[in-house]
Amino acid sequence: MEEIFEVIGVEHLKTILAGLSPEDIVKPAYDNWFPMQKTGHTVLDLETGKVSGLSIEHNQMPLQSMMYIELYTIKAGDYPIGPEELFSKTEYEEFMDFMEDEPSEFAPDMVSIFCEENDIDEDSRTVGILAYRFSQNDQLNYNMWESSILNKYYDKTDENHNPFKFTQSSL
């Protein structure tokens, strides 16, 4: 028996996308990303129009009952922000001095320890940098970004009137 989903319309989707800030798009993925363990996704539920985060372990399949499209992803093996980008020039120099005092090799945990010891909000900075990158790389040409999301929508909903796809017979 085929399951039937009632999904939001294209215009509703466009309205939702237009109302999202870069931070609204990257933060749910970041909050659901666990380095080397889980990939973090920002997804848009096609039934409700709600944007949320989704955490998926390596080789884990998302729930079949979920009808969503991905807006943004941070892979489990990625470290999206390096210390040289996270810290100011002065903080980075202090971080490098801090690393000299540590007997272990560089580990991302050391960035977190340094941030805690120096009252630096690592999560807030990371989300801010990711949001800035997203706005500069993905959203800079909003029409292309929106088109890529609409393509995912059409693929997921199996709409036959996708204006962005050409078949061999339509060429």
Between 44-58, 93-107, 124-138, the lowest mean confidence (pLDDT) is in 93-107
Q: What is the DSSP string of 68-130?
A: EEEEEEE-TT---S-HHHHS-HHHHHHHHHHHHH-SSPP-HHHHHHHHHHTT--HHHHHHHHH
Residue 67: pLDDT band by 50, 70, 90 thresholds? Answer: confident
Residue 167 lies in a domain: no
Between 12-16, 54-58, 104-108, 165-169, the lowest mean confidence (pLDDT) is in 165-169
Which domain does 47 fall in, by range?
A: 10-159
What pLDDT, in 10s, does the model give residues 7-30? Answer: 888 999 999 999 999 999 999 999
Give Cβ neighbours of residue 50 (< 8 Å, ≥ 6 apart). 44
What pLDDT, in 10s, does the model give residues 94-120? Answer: 999 998 876 665 566 889 999 999 999
Residue 19 lies in a domain: yes
Residue 166 lies in a domain: no
pLDDT at 99: 86
pTM of the predicted structure, to 2 decimals? 0.81
Residue 127 lies in a domain: yes
Q: How far is CA 143 from the centre of its chain?
A: 19
Residue 2 lies in a domain: no
Q: 125, 111 in Cβ contact below 8 A? A: no
pLDDT above 70 as % of the chain? 80
Tell me the average pLDDT across 154-162: 68
Residue 91 lies in a domain: yes
* Average pLDDT of the residues of the chain: 84
Looking at the DSSP assignment, which residues form a beta bridge with residue 41? 54, 73
pLDDT at 33: 94
The tally of domains found in the chain comes to: 1
pLDDT at 126: 95
Report residue 50 as tokens: 């709600």
Residue 138 or residue 48, greater confidence: 48
Residue 37 lies in a domain: yes
Residue 35 lies in a domain: yes
